Structure 1
Amino acid sequence: MKKNKMFTFCFIKWLFAICFILSFIVINDTNISAEEAEIDTSLFKYEENEDGTITITGYNGTDETVVIPSEIDGKNVSIIGEKSFYENMNIKYLTVSDGINIIDTYAFRLCENLESVILPESLSFINSLAFAGCYDLKSIKFPNTLESIGLDSFSFCTKLEKIDLPILNSLCPRAFEFCSNLKEVNCKDGLKMINLRMFSGCIKLEKVIIPDSVKIIEGYIGEITENPNTVIYANSNSYARKYANQKGIKFSCLNFHDWDNGTITLEPTVKSNGKKLFVCTACKLQKTQEISKLVLPQSGDQIIDPSTNNTYHVTNSTITNGTVKFIKTTIINSTISIPDTININGVKFRVTSVAKDAFKNNRKIKKITIGKNIKSIGSNAFSGCKNLKTIIVKSKQIQSVGKNAFKGIYKNAKIKIPKKKMKLYKSIFNKKGQKKSVKLVK
């Protein structure tokens, strides 16, 4: 029993010792990391300004990652001075601490290996040629506090592909001159003017987004970028659109389009959808809209043929064997034809009958042609057509003619019928109201 107690005591003591050692290692390692994270301000050269702040004038380090401190020897750093990092070939990743207000002329010029820059919200001015010739600079985010980007400040930053411009008070010409891979410029809403000469020599510039707030645009982008495919993106009612139209620059609507009423390019039918083409009146962009299939009229429906304004009654509603009855016409002509077929929503319907009273008392008609699919003619169909002199019957399928169908037509009218149907049609057409002087002829 005593042996077990002794073993337990030793085990706990041994475990405590191990935990103590591990905690010492962790604490010691944490202290080392904290010391490594501190900025070595001794590497920076500086001078004191009249207001008691500091201007950095040089750097003696060789690190790839550089954090410019906000304070040295208890004094605030406000300016990164002229040529302070000029031709530094070591620096790749730059962070400018909060509190710094100005990056001065030539500050990072020809830092050829500089890839990324993080700027503070305190920054107000980037002066001329500050980052010129930083060939490897791929990305930079401008703070909202920035007021001015100086002349040639980012010229020849040949790996920059996109920039977002904040609301600036001053935009110097050639600020991004010869950024040969720059493809997109996005101007923040609130910016009032833009000088497109900023992008002189940006031969791959494709897209410039300009908000409604911009009311002044200087420079002709086509001559400046030498890229005829540069497109200004803005709202259709913006100043930027007017500018693009005046200068003949390609334009595209930014948030919405002003579509016209559209043109039907493919009529819909009951068998297939149609298509309608819309064109934006602002940027000429086109879009196609599908038009739903049409509905096949049902038996009993009354329809109007849009090509003739004749009215028909659907007697059989099928896609392959549809039929209609001729009801009436609004045509005021001396010559009228009852067609073989009509097209309804892309489906062909055979005209198989003439309704009663269809042409009753039509005194304008002189000649009528009856289509080849007619099987019946209703009563009083041509009654009172006193000037109707010629009736041409193409149909060989007529089975019935209604009472008084031809009553009151011209006394010497002639009804021309198919030669092979003469015997049958004499009996069908006989005594339908016409005078005896009306003749059936071949």
Structure 2
Amino acid sequence: EIRSRSQEKISNIVMNVKASMVPDYSKKLKWALIAVAVAGSLLLFSKPRIFYEHADDGYYVRFYVYGLTNMTTATIPDTYQGEKVVGLRGNTFSNMPFLTEVTLPDSITEIRGQAFKNCRSLERVTLPKNLTYLGGEAFYRCSSLEEVNLPAGLTEIRGNTFEECSSLLRIEIPDNVTRIGGHAFYGNTSLEEVVISPDSKLQQIGSSAFRCCDSLREITLPRGVSVNERAFKETPVRIDYYEY
């Protein structure tokens, strides 16, 4: 090295050669540190954890993190620190591939958008009887969900709420619902029955609300409801109306 680099200082050449002969452990150290961080987080969340956000009317569930001991079911309590748990913020349970069942307390009145989005294994969820607000895309692509009981106090099914819930077989629309938003049940290929009673207050069905519902053959609507021309597009349905 000295002969080939005669113009350089000997001290620099010695340092370079020394560095080339010492093994570089920096990459191994990096992965070791990542492994320690991951292991630490798994130990920290060995049991499911609920993170709350305080509001004037009580506590909202901000995030839910399942732990090593339970990745398939979740139960939300009705109180936290002596106050009611009143709602779920957006994306609370979204993108949890192993979650199959969720139990919610009746104290919850509000579920924000995308709360269960992409929970593809979710089969069962108990919606609170006092629920009045259900955000858009709440159950988007919950492709294992077969049945949902919507509470009587619900007044609107917002856009994309049940889009691509391809296992949903039946849905009963509460009488107080006045609007079914666009793409609300889009792509529900297994949906066979939509129950809307003669006492329904339904006024509007939005664009593509029941589009591509391959198994829906008939539906009966209140007379006077406004149905978007694309609401049942690509769905082999016969639409009847109640006689008054």
Query: Please, what is the CA RMSD of the aligned residues?
Result: 2.0
SS in 1 for 2:108: coil
**C-alpha distance 59-233 of structure 1, shift in aligned 2 (>3 A):** same
Structure 2: how far apart are the matches of 1:200 and 1:81?
Answer: 28
Alignment match, 1:43: 49
Structure 2: how far apart are the matches of 1:142 and 1:114?
Answer: 16
The superposition leaves residues 337-391 of structure 1 with CA deviations (integer Å, 9 ceiling, x where unpaired) of: xxxxxxxxxxxxxxxxxxxxxxxxxxxxxxxxxxxxxxxxxxxxxxxxxxxxxxx
Once the two structures are TM-superposed, the CA of residue 201 in structure 1 deviates from its matched residue by 2.1
Alignment match, 1:234: 241
Which residue of 48, 53, 59 maps to 2:58? 53
Alignment match, 1:402: none
Please show how residues 131-142 of structure 1 align to structure 2 within 5 Å. Answer: 131-142=139-150
**C-alpha distance 185-59 of structure 1, shift in aligned 2 (>3 A):** same
SS in 2 for 1:199: coil
Once the two structures are TM-superposed, the CA of residue 63 in structure 1 deviates from its matched residue by 3.8
Indicate yes or no: 2:86 matched with 1:78: yes
Paired residues of 2:181 and 2:206 also in contact (CA < 8 A): no
Alignment match, 1:153: 161
Structure 1: how far apart are the matches of 2:80 and 2:178?
Answer: 31
Q: Percent identity?
A: 24
Alignment match, 2:200: 190
Gaps in structure 1 of 5+ consecutive residues? 1-40, 239-442
Please show how residues 302-317 of structure 1 align to structure 2 within 5 Å. Answer: none
Alignment match, 2:18: none
Indicate yes or no: 2:64 matched with 1:69: no
Structure 1: how far apart are the matches of 2:226 and 2:178?
Answer: 14
The superposition leaves residues 214-273 of structure 1 with CA deviations (integer Å, 9 ceiling, x where unpaired) of: 42222236x73313x4122433x35xxxxxxxxxxxxxxxxxxxxxxxxxxxxxxxxxxx
Please show how residues 213-252 of structure 1 align to structure 2 within 5 Å. Answer: 214-220=223-229, 224-227=232-235, 229-235=236-242, 237=243
Structure 1: how far apart are the matches of 2:93 and 2:59?
Answer: 16
SS in 1 for 2:107: coil
2:134 partner amino acid: I
Alignment match, 1:205: 216
SS in 2 for 1:225: coil
Structure 2: how far apart are the matches of 1:215 and 1:234?
Answer: 9
**C-alpha distance 56-209 of structure 1, shift in aligned 2 (>3 A):** same
SS in 2 for 1:224: coil
TM-score relative to the length of structure 1: 0.41
Structure 1: how far apart are the matches of 2:232 and 2:238?
Answer: 13
Report the count of equivalent residues.
192
Once the two structures are TM-superposed, the CA of residue 161 in structure 1 deviates from its matched residue by 1.5
Gaps in structure 2 of 5+ consecutive residues? 1-46
Structure 2: how far apart are the matches of 1:128 and 1:234?
Answer: 27
**C-alpha distance 117-42 of structure 1, shift in aligned 2 (>3 A):** closer
**C-alpha distance 143-159 of structure 1, shift in aligned 2 (>3 A):** same
Paired residues of 2:179 and 2:202 also in contact (CA < 8 A): no
The superposition leaves residues 395-419 of structure 1 with CA deviations (integer Å, 9 ceiling, x where unpaired) of: xxxxxxxxxxxxxxxxxxxxxxxxx
Once the two structures are TM-superposed, the CA of residue 194 in structure 1 deviates from its matched residue by 3.6
Paired residues of 2:179 and 2:205 also in contact (CA < 8 A): no
Q: Which has the higher strand share?
A: 1
The superposition leaves residues 36-91 of structure 1 with CA deviations (integer Å, 9 ceiling, x where unpaired) of: xxxxx972111101x14111111122342222222112121111111111111222
Higher Cα Rg, which structure: 1
Q: Which runs of 4+ in 1 moved over 3 A?
A: none
Q: Which has the higher contact order (CA 8 A, sep 6+)?
A: 2
**C-alpha distance 207-160 of structure 1, shift in aligned 2 (>3 A):** same
SS in 2 for 1:59: strand
1:230 partner amino acid: V
Structure 1: how far apart are the matches of 2:139 and 2:84?
Answer: 23
Structure 1: how far apart are the matches of 2:177 and 2:100?
Answer: 27
**C-alpha distance 190-52 of structure 1, shift in aligned 2 (>3 A):** closer
2:146 partner amino acid: K
Structure 1: how far apart are the matches of 2:120 and 2:186?
Answer: 16
